């Protein structure tokens, strides 16, 4: 499987324009990337741009802080699915994790999983803010709540994906039948390959074109 088939081409900047989203979708089609990851306001646009292609439309809820109440996250997820999202990436309640309030953490995820069903949900844990023990406990909560993936990072905090974190999460996630998405700071093919080798199944990156071009020298958008 090529690197492109693991990449969610990502544009989550607050200043992203409709024209930029259209360009992102065109790039994803051109380089046969797995999907695009965009803010909820652009789901309908992306779905229209990608109609008739296998490129997935992925969006985010509770992003980037994870501090919305579960009902708000669930409503956002349900709206995203109505608008055409194929997958939903949610940010969990990091404060609840730090409090050790695992029932709250799990309930938060369950609310989004139920609202997005049957679309798969990925849960962003913001690994740079957590201890290794908390990261592993997050995997347990994610599996218990019925989500499909644990995702390392929003890319909006003090750190992104690391090989060490992906290895740690993959070790737990595999046992729990959950997959790993690495995101945050993955800007070249070498970094993407390292994350896949460490156990990631998906790569979230704004550098999808550069990575695809590196894998296929001579290609141009």
Residues with catalytic annotation?
A: 89, 151, 181
Scan for tokens 């798969």, then name that residue. Answer: 120
CA distance 155 to 17: 19
Cα–Cα distances (Å) from 96 to 27, 44, 73, 196, in that order, read 38, 32, 15, 29
Cα–Cα distances (Å) from 179 to 13, 83, 93, in that order, read 25, 25, 20
Q: Report how far Cα 205 is from the mean position of its chain's Cα atoms.
A: 9
CA distance 74 to 62: 9
Nearest one of 98, 92, 89 to 130, comparing CA atoms: 98
Query: Nearest 5°: CA angle at 125, between 120 and 129?
Result: 170
3-state secondary structure of 19: helix
Contact 8, 32 (CB under 8 A): no
């Amino acid at each position: 499987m090529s690197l492109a088939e693991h990449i969610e081409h990502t544009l989550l900047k607050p200043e992203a324009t409709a024209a930029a989203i259209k360009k992102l979708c065109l790039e994803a089609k051109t380089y046969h990337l797995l999907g695009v990851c965009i803010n909820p306001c652009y789901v309908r646009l992306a779905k229209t741009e990608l109609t008739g292609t296998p490129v997935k439309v992925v969006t985010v809820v509770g992003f980037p802080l994870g501090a919305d109440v579960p009902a708000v996250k669930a409503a956002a997820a349900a709206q995203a699915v109505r608008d055409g999202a194929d997958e939903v990436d949610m940010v969990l309640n990091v404060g609840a994790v730090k409090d050790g309030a695992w029932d709250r953490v799990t309930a938060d995820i369950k609310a989004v999983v139920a609202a997005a069903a049957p679309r798969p949900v990925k849960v962003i844990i913001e690994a740079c803010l957590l201890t290794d023990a908390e990261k592993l406990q997050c995997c347990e909560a994610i599996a218990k709540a019925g989500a499909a993936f644990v995702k390392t990072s929003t890319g909006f905090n003090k750190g992104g994906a690391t090989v060490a974190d992906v290895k740690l999460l993959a070790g737990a996630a595999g046992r729990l039948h959950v997959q790993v998405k690495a995101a945050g700071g993955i800007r070249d093919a070498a970094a993407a390959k390292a994350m896949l080798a460490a156990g990631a199944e998906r790569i979230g990156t704004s550098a999808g074109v550069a990575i695809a071009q590196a894998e296929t020298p001579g290609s141009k958008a």
